[in-house]
Amino acid sequence: MNVLSRNKVLVTGIALILLTNIIVIGGAMYNRSGEPDAVVVLNERELPMYNWYQQENSGLSLRLNWHGYAYDTYDTRHWLDRGKLKELGFELVASDDREVVRQNARKQLPRPAWVVLEFDGAAYQEMLQNAEKKYLEEQRLYSHEPDSETQKARLHDAEQNYQWIKNSDSRLYVVDAGRNPEQLRQRYPDRAHYIIAAGVVRLDYDYYGKDRDMITGYISEVSVANIHVPLEQRAVFDSLPDIHYIVDGSGYSRSFKPRYQVKLAYGRRYEPWIESVEKSSE
């Protein structure tokens, strides 16, 4: 390759990098123009630091922590039913042959969709109430069998789960999905408690469903799950005390007190950015 050819390749490469940066910066500027679609104040429960345990001075991001993925304790099937799946574009067969249903589910490609993330709403309260009921029931049972190690362990697990959901677990739950973000926003107008974001829905076959042939759906991803922390906000995170966990007898971390809160905004492209960060007062 002669000098002229090398220079041509170099110029082309530089031009491509510049064009890419212009597109990225332009997209970010467009996203932040006008009024945000949503502004939600979250904390470490919903936005844990990505690789917080690594002592690094390089780039820092926060990971969006939400419920509604496969095998999550939160069950999306009460709203992500056959009707909703068809609405999202899935082609479902009606058959008494379970194998036919299963194979149909396996062949279906994932579908892009707009998802609704509810913050500290009915879905979270239901999970919290169920955990509390379980804890109180295990307390009642233990009072009748105070010498039972099995019952003692069940009570311990129920208490740990209740405390985790109450104090440390994410309060973001996917509660709806659709093909039109504007229609979803009309349905969920509270911009301080409902986030609309791009996501992906997948089909699964539930072997343990009531009918043993149940088709189920789940959210496999929400776009922009890792949110960059601007350099001017790094000082808040760098000054945080070490995270405090309540550790059970097995050494498994179960609960912690959030150390910071973040004002997170979603713009015209339904993509997030950090407006402000401060230490948590909880």
Under DSSP, is residue 256 helix (H, G, I), strand (E, B) or coil?
Answer: strand
Mean pLDDT of all residues belonging to the chain: 83
Position 16 pLDDT exceeds 80: no
Confidence of residue 252 (pLDDT cuts 50, 70, 90): very low
Q: How deeply is 132 buried, as exposed, middle or buried, from its count of CB atoms within 10 A (0-12, 13-18, 19+)? A: middle
pLDDT at 94: 80
CB atoms within 10 A of CB 87: 13
Higher pLDDT residue, 153 or 57?
A: 153
pLDDT at 43: 95
Mean pLDDT check: name the lowest of 22-31, 40-49, 79-88. Answer: 22-31
pLDDT at 166: 94
Position 23 pLDDT exceeds 50: no
> How far from chain centre, in Å, is Cα 128?
17
pLDDT digits (tens, 9 = 90+) for 187-236: 999 999 999 999 999 988 776 655 555 788 899 999 888 999 998 888 89
pLDDT at 100: 83
Confidence of residue 19 (pLDDT cuts 50, 70, 90): very low
Position 265 pLDDT exceeds 50: yes
What b/e sequence results for 209-227 when a residue is b if at least 16 CB atoms lie within 10 Å of its CB, and e otherwise?
eeeebbbbbbbeebbebeb
Alpha-carbon span 112 to 114, nearest angstrom: 7
Per DSSP, what are the bridge partners of residue 63?
A: 226
pLDDT digits (tens, 9 = 90+) for 119-158: 999 999 999 999 999 999 999 999 999 999 999 999 999 9
pTM given for the model: 0.83
Position 253 pLDDT exceeds 60: no
Mean pLDDT check: name the lowest of 60-69, 104-113, 126-135, 249-258. Answer: 249-258
Helix (H) or strand (E) holding 203: strand 194-206
Position 263 pLDDT exceeds 50: yes
CB atoms within 10 A of CB 22: 10
